[in-house]
């Protein structure tokens, strides 16, 4: 209850700003919860992935993969050939191919992105062994021949011997399927239980594996898994350097290939081959904290807490050099292009199901994913060509997320739509530039959440402004549009909280105008003509008032009431009111000509203006209210309008209005004591603006001023002479005739020394 009372006591703008900030805070909490991993917003992950994919594609073609890595392809051409045939090929053919690679082409390392999980029975050796143990048992010739052929027909044995004699990496895979089996033999883990104690890691759980025959796994120097990380959208963006299985850690195909290659490069001739060890470190290089680096020998590899590495795609499929297995078998490959290379065996054949979706392409050979990683990490000792997402960047993003959200929560509710749009555009541009600069520095930033939060806060504020504040502005416009010129209403609607209908004390100028002899006019016109007469008159006069920034108060029959200085403040309200009155006089002369052309009666008006303190606001009863002004200054304006007929003047104003209008030429009329006021006031008639003063008018004003000075000094004879001269030169004038009559009376009836020259009026 107290909160509601506090809200109601605030200005409308402050109240709307607090409500928008509160709604924005609720929205921000949703995004912050995602950033703190309290809940998950898949859309933000998708946006971050989209940004990442765009950045990857923007770098395509800028660099080529390291030429020391090539792919030996089990392609459609090889599978369709008679020499090789459909996969899997017999192990004797594989042995021939491997021997040819090392003996004829002198490659450095061979890495298999395929699995040899089943025995090769194509030689018929098992059938011969069954015959020797069965129907042909005791057949000496058969047994001798079989003994001679056994080693040659043992294709798996030949392939095992080939593997053992060469620097070969055998590939395998893990599976997370609940019904996963465990086939083949795993190589020895590179790290054991406890080696990563103290490090915060996020390794996934695997249920089984598909590996090579145990004899192949044991024969190979190293083995590596070729599991990629497939994101929820099916795209491969990362590969894990290590995989945890049953508490131990197994290296990837790329890492195993590199360790073997580095061992060959770093081991002096004649020395035993020693594979570089693997150590895991946190961001600080310590053994505690989130996993961030793997040190392989002297080389530092950037990973995340799950040991995942971003795949450094350098181009579309085929950016790494491909060579066909059939061309190798037929010796069609130039030996120079494979010498000392890392050769990775994989397949691009669709039927062998090793095609992946990547940021580069929806169909991308799995072997080339690993080849890109190997090619990039070959330079890890000088410059790792790998993008990274270190812990300090994640922490900085989190702080920026909160800071930017709080900044926009504080700013947007108070900004105009233009400034809000500009601020939001600047923030989004800053995030875009920051992401690009970080990317060029080798860092992967996740700024989509911040961008979406900024955009949503902007939309929230704009929607609130449109549906709530725009409604308030429309109501405001409808309310004040009855009184105030449209251009002022538009100005007020920009900041409606600055304007109020509540009563307050202000220094303003009020105007009253009335048609003289309206009763006589109405008797000369039919009801229809009278309605047209008064409507056209009121329309013309109201337009003049609005054109001069006046607030229309009300019509009282043929009378008009207006004021200046509220609701929009106008420091020169007196000048604006006087200018409006003079313009009404000019407009009326044009209107009289139109009326006379229609045969309608002539029309004359009187205008009274008064400036001073008055109460302005929405006043009235519970049945009806109006935005109006009240006070002594208002009453004086009404009294002066009534005196215009007595003096034959168009417009009358008091001294206060004259003092506030130095730009206007006034003619002093009289000192009067109006009904309801004890203090006498001097009243004036505005003649024109000073820049409009003509010599003839200036002479007339001077003559009038002299006559009035003699009148006040009780030199009535001289005043009479001057007034008669004015009548002779200017013609009939009620004002001159009135004072001439007074002067004659006072000359003949001297008022005495206590005469103050004040005319007292007992009627309104």
Rounded to whole angstroms, the Cα distance separating 629 from 681 reads: 21
pLDDT category, 51, cuts 50, 70, 90?
Answer: very high
- Residue 688 and residue 582 in contact, taking contact as beta carbons nearer than 8 Å: yes
- Residue 188 and residue 131 in contact, taking contact as beta carbons nearer than 8 Å: no
Structure tokens at 630: 């009240």
Report CA torsion sign: 595, 601, 602, 603: negative
Helices first, then strands: H and E counts in the chain: 26, 28
Beta strands in 130-282 (DSSP E): 168-175, 182-183, 199-200, 208-210, 222-225, 229-230, 236-240, 242-245, 248-251, 278-282
DSSP assignment letter at 389: -
By DSSP bridging, strand 199-200 and strand 182-183 are unpaired
- At residue 414, the pLDDT reads 75
The least confident of 85-94, 151-160, 605-614, 723-732 is 151-160
DSSP assignment letter at 88: S
Can you list the alpha helix ranges (DSSP code H) found in 598-730? 632-647, 655-659, 695-712, 716-730
Q: Is the pLDDT of residue 732 over 50?
A: yes
Section 616-633 average pLDDT:
82
Structure tokens at 701: 């004003």
- pLDDT tens digits for 140-179? 665 656 556 555 677 888 999 999 999 999 999 999 877 7
| All residues at 6 or more sequence positions from 99 whose CB lies less than 8 Å from its CB, including other chains | 162
pLDDT category, 573, cuts 50, 70, 90?
Answer: very high
Confidence (pTM): 0.65
- Domain ranges, ordered by start, for the chain: 2-61+391-473, 69-377, 502-693, 694-764
- At residue 374, the pLDDT reads 94
- pLDDT tens digits for 252-282? 999 999 999 999 998 888 888 899 999 999 9
What percent of the chain shows pLDDT beyond 70?
87
- At residue 476, the pLDDT reads 59
- At residue 382, the pLDDT reads 57
What percent of the chain shows pLDDT beyond 90?
53
- H or E stretch at 612: strand 605-620
Q: In Å, what is the CA distance from 373 to each residue of 3, 229, 253, 256, 619?
A: 60, 13, 10, 12, 81
Q: In Å, what is the CA distance from 133 to each residue of 137, 142, 299, 398?
A: 5, 11, 56, 72
- pLDDT tens digits for 693-703? 999 999 999 99
The least confident of 132-141, 261-270, 500-509, 583-592 is 132-141
- For residues 364 and 420, which has the higher predicted lDDT (pLDDT)? 364
pLDDT category, 1, cuts 50, 70, 90?
Answer: very low
Q: Among residues 338, 343, 323, which one has the least CA distance to residue 167? A: 343
- At residue 15, the pLDDT reads 62
Three-state SS string over 325-353 comes to HHHHHCCCCCHHHHCCCEEEEECCCHHHC
Section 391-406 average pLDDT:
86
Structure tokens at 572: 């020169």
Residue matched to tokens 């971050």: 48
DSSP assignment letter at 626: E
Rounded to whole angstroms, the Cα distance separating 680 from 668 reads: 14
- pLDDT tens digits for 64-113? 888 999 999 999 999 999 889 888 898 889 999 999 999 999 999 999 99
What does the mean pLDDT of the chain come to? 86
Max mean pLDDT range (556-560, 569-573, 652-656, 734-738): 652-656
- At residue 43, the pLDDT reads 84
Rounded to whole angstroms, the Cα distance separating 341 from 105 reads: 9
- At residue 346, the pLDDT reads 92
- pLDDT tens digits for 416-470? 778 888 988 998 999 999 999 999 988 999 888 888 888 888 887 777 666 665 5
Beta strands in 232-311 (DSSP E): 236-240, 242-245, 248-251, 278-282, 289-296, 299-302, 308-310
pLDDT category, 4, cuts 50, 70, 90?
Answer: very low
- At residue 698, the pLDDT reads 93
- pLDDT tens digits for 544-565? 998 998 988 899 989 999 999 9
- At residue 402, the pLDDT reads 86
- At residue 77, the pLDDT reads 92
448 SS3 class: helix
Q: Is the pLDDT of residue 514 over 80?
A: yes
Rounded to whole angstroms, the Cα distance separating 36 from 449 reads: 12
By DSSP bridging, strand 605-620 and strand 651-654 are parallel
CATH of domain 502-693: 3.30.70.1230
DSSP assignment letter at 319: -
């Amino acid at each position: 209850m107290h909160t509601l009372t506090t809200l109601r006591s605030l200005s409308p703008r402050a109240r709307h700003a607090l409500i928008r900030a509160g709604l924005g805070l609720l929205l921000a909490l949703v995004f912050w919860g995602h950033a703190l991993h309290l809940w998950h917003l898949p859309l933000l992950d998708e946006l971050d992935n989209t940004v990442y994919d765009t950045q990857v594609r923007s770098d395509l073609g800028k660099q080529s993969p390291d030429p020391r890595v090539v792919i030996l392809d089990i392609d459609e051409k090889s599978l369709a050939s008679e020499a090789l045939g459909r996969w899997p090929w017999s192990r004797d053919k594989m042995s021939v191919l491997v021997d040819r690679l090392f003996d004829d082409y002198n490659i450095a390392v061979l890495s298999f992105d395929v699995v040899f999980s089943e025995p090769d029975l194509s030689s018929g050796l098992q059938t011969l062994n069954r015959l020797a143990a069965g129907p042909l048992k005791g057949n000496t010739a058969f047994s001798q021949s079989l003994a001679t052929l056994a080693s040659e027909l043992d294709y798996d044995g030949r392939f095992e011997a080939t593997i053992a004699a060469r620097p070969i990496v055998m590939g395998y895979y893990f599976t997370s399927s609940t019904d996963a089996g465990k086939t083949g033999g795993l190589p020895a883990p590179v790290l054991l239980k406890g080696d990563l104690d103290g490090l915060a890691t996020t390794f996934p759980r695997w249920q089984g594996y598909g590996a090579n025959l145990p004899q192949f796994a044991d024969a190979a120097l190293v083995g590596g898994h070729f599991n990629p990380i497939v994101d929820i959208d099916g795209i491969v963006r990362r590969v894990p350097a290590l995989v945890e299985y049953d508490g131990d850690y197994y290296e990837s195909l790329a890492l195993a290939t590199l360790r073997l290659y580095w061992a060959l490069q770093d081991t002096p001739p004649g020395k035993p081959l020693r594979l570089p060890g693997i150590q895991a470190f946190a961001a600080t290089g310590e053994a505690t904290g989130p996993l961030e680096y793997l040190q392989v020998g002297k080389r530092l590899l950037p990973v995340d807490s799950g040991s995942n590495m971003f795949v450094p795609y350098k181009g579309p499929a085929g950016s790494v050099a491909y060579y066909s297995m059939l061309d190798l078998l037929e010796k069609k490959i130039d030996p120079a292009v494979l010498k000392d290379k890392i050769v990775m065996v994989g397949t691009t054949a669709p039927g062998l199901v090793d095609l992946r979706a990547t940021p580069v392409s929806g169909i991308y050979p799995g072997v080339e994913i690993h080849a890109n990683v190997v090619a990039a990490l070959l330079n890890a000792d000088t410059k790792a060509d790998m993008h990274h997402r270190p812990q300090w960047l994640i922490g900085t993003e989190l702080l920026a997320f909160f800071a930017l959200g709080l900044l926009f929560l504080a700013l947007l509710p108070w900004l105009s739509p233009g400034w809000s749009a500009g601020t939001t555009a600047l923030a989004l541009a800053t995030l875009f530039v920051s992401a690009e600069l970080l990317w060029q520095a080798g860092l992967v930033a996740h700024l989509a959440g911040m961008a979406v939060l900024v955009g949503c806060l902007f939309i929230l504020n704009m929607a609130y402004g449109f549906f709530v504040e725009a409604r308030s502005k429309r109501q405001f416009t409808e309310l004040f549009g009855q009184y105030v010129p449209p251009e002022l209403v538009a100005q007020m609607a920009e900041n409606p909280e600055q304007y109020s209908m509540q009563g307050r004390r202000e220094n303003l100028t009020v105007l009253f105008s009335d048609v003289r002899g309206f009763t006589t006019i109405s008797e000369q016109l039919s009801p229809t003509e009278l309605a047209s007469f008064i409507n056209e008159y009121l329309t013309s006069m109201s337009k003049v008032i609005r054109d001069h920034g006046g607030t229309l108060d009300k019509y009282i029959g043929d009378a008009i009431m207006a004021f200046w200085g509220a609701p929009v403040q106008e420091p020169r309200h007196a000048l604006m009111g006087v200018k409006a009155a003079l313009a009404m006089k000019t407009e009326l002369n044009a209107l009289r000509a139109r009326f006379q052309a229609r045969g309608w009666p002539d029309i004359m008006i009187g205008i009274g203006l008064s400036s001073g303190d008055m109460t302005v606001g929405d006043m009235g009863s519970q049945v009806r209210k109006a935005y109006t002004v009240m006070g002594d200054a208002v009453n004086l304006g009404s009294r002066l309008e009534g005196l215009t007929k007595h003096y034959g003047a168009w417009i009358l104003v008091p001294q206060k209005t004259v003092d506030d209008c130095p730009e206007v030429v006034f003619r002093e009329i009289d000192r009067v004591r109006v009904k309801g006021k004890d203090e006498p006031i001097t009243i004036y008639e505005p003649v024109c603006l000073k820049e409009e003063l003509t010599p003839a008018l200036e002479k007339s004003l001077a003559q009038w001023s002299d006559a009035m000075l003699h009148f006040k000094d009780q030199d009535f004879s001289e005043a009479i002479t001057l007034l008669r001269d004015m009548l002779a030169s200017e013609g009939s004038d009620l004002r001159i005739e009135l004072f001439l009559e007074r002067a004659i009376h006072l000359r003949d009836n001297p008022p005495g020394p206590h005469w103050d020259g004040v005319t007292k009026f007992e009627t309104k």
